[in-house]
Structure formats: structure tokens, C-alpha cells
């Protein structure tokens, strides 16, 4: 059985905060918990908040372009970009909700590294086997609505590779690289009170074999050469 | 708190089975449970299993094309198609795992209708307010690995529309149509034992306002006219 819950009492995060400290002191963690952390508080802790020039109407778009490797599509004010990380998302993942007026939050520079940092901080404080996932909310190409996905991870799989395992009839399964980190991020979103900006969610009861060294950049980000639609 | 678990003892499903009967007799359901049913057993119950001609090497591809509105991309034996429902997925969603040798399982003809049928069967047996989601495993354009998504739903939202609600600073949120049905399908996948073909998962503890009349076709399937990448 899997249980998912959002710990109360996580304070407003500011630059320089130790997120492992904040999380472990607000939540009784257990072995094999996955700790899902919204990228926004990671960015805030890492100082990835910028002030937009109020006299420049195109300040936001310039910022989006400065975080982009390229623009895939443009529709009105919405740019679909490939970020320097290789993520494809709206406006390079830059967000202006739950932040001071006139400010914008950039994605963490290296979300896998952010996850590893929090993972190390949690390990030092708890001694537990944990996974850390940095999540954000992305749209999808062919389906309406947004879902939470994993931008970075540490101590927990990006992909669960079932290639070579057999189905209930003993036939080898194909196409079975399950993006578990994205499923965990999506599951965590369901436990958030609506629009409350809940920054941390715990997912408990996952298969223990998911807990290993891992990277979203290496396991989930699709290289343009393998891409059928870019 | 959300809990997710897979009931034991769901038998092999055959054409004509009453899935609501099977589910309710194998699981103690509660008010506001979401019942996530793998499309494969829905297809089996609805007789959507076909025998492939063993003398025709292209029998599978012909079947894929017969279920497709168009082919978006082809890479070797893999076709990315738009199904007649409007889903974009590999091989029109046709699968040969967990089925007899030489057979293939088509997607349900109308997964929203399938969900409504099961929803009605469950209501008749339990009298509870429940949601039903028909799930399947799809790839993603820009991200490696597959995740479970919702093909049909009844009694539970496809999209949770937060447009107009405010963030923790009182600013109106933008881009906040959350594809909760897909997140529930993804969450359910995490509770399945690996490769065991677990066909039913219960997701308990969701926000009660998600339980309403709904449709994946109307809420989540993106019309080609709104599509930036087709």
C-alpha cells in the first residue's frame, strides 16, 4: 500500500535555506520514503529569483529566452522552449505565482544536483534510505491540462526498466521502461490542497528496489537525436 | 492523506464479464474511492481481442492502421498513430502482452462509455459515490519512459480547473488546469507489483470535489486545431 501526505508547517523558504533541515524537522520520515519537493522552493533556496524590470514590457520574454536553448513554438505570449537542461515546457519553466510581485522564479540550474544536495542533507540528519524528487508542473503535447513531473532526482529511480521481464503468460514484455519518477511526482500533486503552494509531499510504500542512484537528466530527458517530433 | 492499493483476487477476465460485479466482490470500497481499471481487462470484457493471421507478417501493422485516424511518425516497426478516439500513442494502443499467443488487444471503443458502464454497475452494487478511470500506458513526446494515463472516466474529473483561483499571495493563478485523471492513473501504477498484470487499483482520499460527471474525450483529448506539434 502506498500512502501520500503533505507535511504541515513548512515555512516560507528564502535564499540559503537548508531544505533537508527544514523537511526533516517538519516531518517524521521513514525508510524508503520518497520526498517530493516543488522546484519553486528549491529555486528560492538557491537564489534563482529575479526582479523583472517594470519599465520593460518584454522583460519576461527576455528572461524566458535567456533560459532557453531554442524556441519550439510560439502562441501569443506563450513560448514553448527547450531549456538549457533539455526540458521542453512553457516559458522555460519560469513562473510568477507564489512569489513577490515583479519577481520571477527560474528553474533550478541543475535539478539532479539540487536533489542530491537535499538527499545528502536528509541522510546526515536521519540516516534513512530516502529518495528525493524535484517536481514541477508541465503541459503535454497531445493531452490538455498539466501534470507534475520530475525535474531532478536522487536516491530513487527515474526509470524502472522492466525490459526482459515476463508478463503473466511468460512472454517477454516490450516497451516497459516506466517513468516512475514522473509517476511519483504526479501522485504527490494529488495530496496537495488546491493552490495552497504546498512545497513538500511524502510518498511512502514504494517498491524498495526503486531506491538507487539515479538522474532525471540521464534517464528521462530525451535527446533531440531520439526525438520524433522536435 | 491518500492511500493506494491493488485488491487481490481479481480473476482472469473474459468477454461478457461484469467488471463492476468482479471489482465490488473483490474489494471493500468506500465513499469517494477512485477505481482505476486497466484498459486491457475492459477490452477483454468487451470482446476487443482479435486473432492475428499467422500467415500474414503485416497482420499486426494492418490492425494498427485499421484503428488509426492517421500515422504521425514511423520508426521501424513502431507507428505513432492518432487513434480514432483522438489518442496519440504507439501502435494505436494495441498490445500483445498478457493475452493469448497470436492475439492482440484493441483499446476499448469508447473508454468514457466503458467507465460509465462500470460506474453504473458499481453504483448498483454499493450505492457509493465513486469514480472510475480506465487507464493505459503511453509514451511521451519529450520525455523517455512511459506513464499510465486516463483513457476514460466516469464520476471523477478529467481536469481540475483552478483558473481564477488565487495563489498564497492572492495573485490569480494562470495555466492551472490540472489533469487529475492522468495523475490518478499514474499514481495507481505505482501500487502495481511489477509485471504482474494487476488490473484494478483503488486510490482513496482524493479531494471530494473531484467526484462529478466527467469525460476524458471532452476534457483531456486535445483537438488537432489546438495542437502546436501535430
pLDDT tens by residue, chain A, 230 residues? 999 999 998 999 999 999 999 999 999 999 999 999 999 999 999 999 999 999 999 999 999 999 999 999 998 888 999 999 999 999 999 998 878 889 999 999 999 999 999 999 999 999 999 999 999 999 999 999 999 999 999 999 999 998 777 777 777 666 589 999 999 999 999 999 766 678 999 999 999 999 999 999 999 999 888 878 77
- In chain A, which segments carry CATH 3.90.1660.10? 49-106
Grid cell 524528487 is found at A133
Q: What is the pTM of this model?
A: 0.96
**Arch. (CATH architecture) of B3-48+108-226:** 2-Layer Sandwich (3.30)
Interface test with B, best of A1, A2, A218 (most B CBs within 10 A): A2
CA-nearest residue to B163 within chain A is A195
Decide if A3 and B3 are in contact by the 8 Å CB cutoff: yes
Residues of B in contact with A187 (CB under 8 A): 2, 4, 183, 186-187, 190
Decide if B147 and A229 are in contact by the 8 Å CB cutoff: no
The CATH code of domain B49-105 reads 3.90.1660.10
Handedness of CA B179, A203, A152, A159 (dihedral sign): negative
Q: Which of A183-197, B46-60, B110-124 is the least confident region? A: A183-197
Q: Mind listing the pLDDT tens digit for each residue in B143-167?
A: 999 999 999 999 999 999 987 777 7
Distance from the A21 Cα atom to the nearest Cα atom in chain B, whole angstroms: 23
Decide if A169 and B99 are in contact by the 8 Å CB cutoff: yes
Cβ burial A135-156 (10 Å sphere, 16+ → b, else e): bbbbbbbbbbbbbbbbbbbbbb
Interface test with B, best of A140, A170, A189, A223 (most B CBs within 10 A): A140
pLDDT at A40: 95
- In chain B, which segments carry CATH 3.30.1330.100? 3-48+108-226
pLDDT at A229: 79
Decide if A98 and B3 are in contact by the 8 Å CB cutoff: no
- Answer yes or no: is pLDDT of B175 > 70: no
**CATH match for A3-47+108-226 among 3.10.310.30, 3.40.50.1400, 3.30.1330.100, 3.40.640.10:** 3.30.1330.100
Q: Which of B62, B19, B23 is nearest to B43 (CA)?
A: B19
Residues of A in contact with B149 (CB under 8 A): 143
> Taking the mean position of all CA atoms in its chain, how far away is CA A110?
11
pLDDT at A173: 65
**DSSP of chain A, one letter per residue?**
-EEEE--S-PPPP-TT--HHHHHHHHS---TTEEEEEEHHHHHHHTT-EEE--TT-TTHHHHHHHHTEEEEEEEETTEEEEEETTS-EEEGGG-B-TTS-TTEEEPPPS-HHHHHHHHHHHHHHHH----EEEEEEEEE-SSBSSEEEEEEEEESS-S-EE-TT-B-TTSPBP-S-EE-HHHHHHHHHHTTSPTTS---EEEEES--GGG-S---HHHHTBPPGGG-S--
Decide if B142 and A73 are in contact by the 8 Å CB cutoff: no
The CATH code of domain A49-106 reads 3.90.1660.10
Distance from the B125 Cα atom to the nearest Cα atom in chain A, whole angstroms: 25
Separation of first and last alpha carbons in chain B: 39
Three-state SS for B29? coil
- In chain B, which segments carry CATH 3.90.1660.10? 49-105
pLDDT at B25: 96
Residue among B146, B196, B230 whose CB faces A178 most closely: B146
Grid cell 466516469 is found at B154
Amino acid at each position: 500500500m502506498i500512502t501520500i501526505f503533505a507535511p504541515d508547517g513548512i515555512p516560507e523558504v528564502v535564499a540559503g535555506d537548508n531544505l533537508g533541515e527544514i523537511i526533516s524537522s517538519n516531518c517524521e520520515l521513514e525508510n524508503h520514503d520518497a520526498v517530493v519537493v516543488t522546484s519553486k522552493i528549491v529555486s528560492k533556496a538557491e537564489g534563482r529569483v529575479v526582479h523583472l524590470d517594470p519599465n520593460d514590457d518584454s522583460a519576461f520574454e527576455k528572461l524566458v529566452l535567456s533560459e532557453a536553448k531554442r524556441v519550439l513554438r510560439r502562441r501569443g505570449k506563450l513560448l514553448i522552449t527547450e531549456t538549457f537542461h533539455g526540458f521542453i515546457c512553457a516559458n522555460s519553466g519560469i513562473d510568477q505565482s507564489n512569489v513577490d510581485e515583479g519577481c520571477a522564479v527560474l528553474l533550478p540550474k541543475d535539478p539532479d544536483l539540487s536533489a542530491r544536495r537535499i538527499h545528502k542533507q536528509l541522510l546526515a540528519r536521519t540516516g534513512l534510505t530516502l529518495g528525493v524528487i524535484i517536481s514541477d508542473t508541465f503541459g503535454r503535447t497531445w493531452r490538455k491540462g498539466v501534470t507534475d513531473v520530475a525535474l531532478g532526482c536522487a536516491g530513487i529511480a527515474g526509470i524502472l526498466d522492466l525490459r526482459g521481464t515476463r508478463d503473466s503468460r511468460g512472454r517477454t514484455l516490450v516497451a516497459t521502461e516506466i517513468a516512475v519518477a514522473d509517476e511519483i511526482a504526479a501522485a504527490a500533486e494529488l495530496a496537495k490542497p488546491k493552490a495552497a503552494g504546498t512545497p513538500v509531499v511524502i510518498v511512502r510504500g514504494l517498491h524498495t528496489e526503486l531506491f538507487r542512484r539515479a538522474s532525471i537528466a540521464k534517464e528521462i530527458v530525451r535527446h533531440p537525436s531520439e526525438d520524433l517530433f522536435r
